[in-house]
Amino acid sequence: MQQLDDVKAAARSVWARGDYDAMMRTEGLYAVGAQLVRHLGVDPGEQVVDVACGTGNAAIPAARAGAQVTGVDLAPEMLAVARARAADAGVTVEWIEGDAEDLPLPDGHANVALSTFGCMFAPRHDIVASELARLLAPGGRLGLCAWTPDGVFGEFFRIVAAYLPPDPEFVDPPLAWGDEAHVRDRFAGTGLTLDFERRVWRITHDSVEAAVACYTDNLGPVTQARELAAAEGRWPTLRAELAELFARHADDDGHVVLPAEYLLATGRRG
pLDDT of residue 1: 75
Residue 218 placed within a domain: no
Task: Kindly state whether residue 154 falls inside one of the protein's structural domains.
Answer: no
Residue 193 lies inside a defined structural domain of this protein? yes
Residue 224 lies in a domain: no
DSSP the chain: -HHHHHHHHHHHHHHTSS-HHHHHHHHTTHHHHHHHHHHTT--TT-EEEEET-TTTTTHHHHHHTT-EEEEEES-HHHHHHHHHHHHHHT--EEEEE-BTTB-SS-TT-EEEEEEESSGGGSS-HHHHHHHHHHHEEEEEEEEEEEE-TTSHHHHHHHHHHTTSPPPPTTSPPGGGGG-HHHHHHHHTTTTEEEEEEEEEEEEEESSHHHHHHHHHHH-HHHHHHHHHHHHTT-HHHHHHHHHHHHHTTB-TTS-EEEEEEEEEEEEEE-
Q: Is 86 part of a structural domain of the chain?
A: yes
Predicted confidence at residue 198, as pLDDT, reads: 98
pLDDT of residue 191: 95
Residue 162 lies in a domain: no
In the prediction, which pLDDT does 77 show?
A: 96
Domain that holds residue 129: 2-148+168-204+262-269
Q: Is residue 62 part of a domain?
A: yes
Task: Return the CATH number at 54.
Answer: 3.40.50.150
Q: How many domains would you assign to the chain? A: 1
Query: pTM of the predicted model, to two decimals?
Result: 0.96
229 in a structural domain: no
Tens place of pLDDT per residue across the chain (270 aa): 799 999 999 999 999 999 999 999 999 999 999 999 999 999 999 999 999 999 999 999 999 999 999 999 999 999 999 999 999 999 999 999 999 999 999 999 999 999 999 999 999 999 999 999 999 999 999 999 999 999 999 999 999 999 999 999 999 999 999 999 999 999 999 999 999 999 999 999 999 999 999 999 999 999 999 999 999 999 999 999 999 999 999 999 999 999 999 999 999 998
pLDDT given at position 35: 97
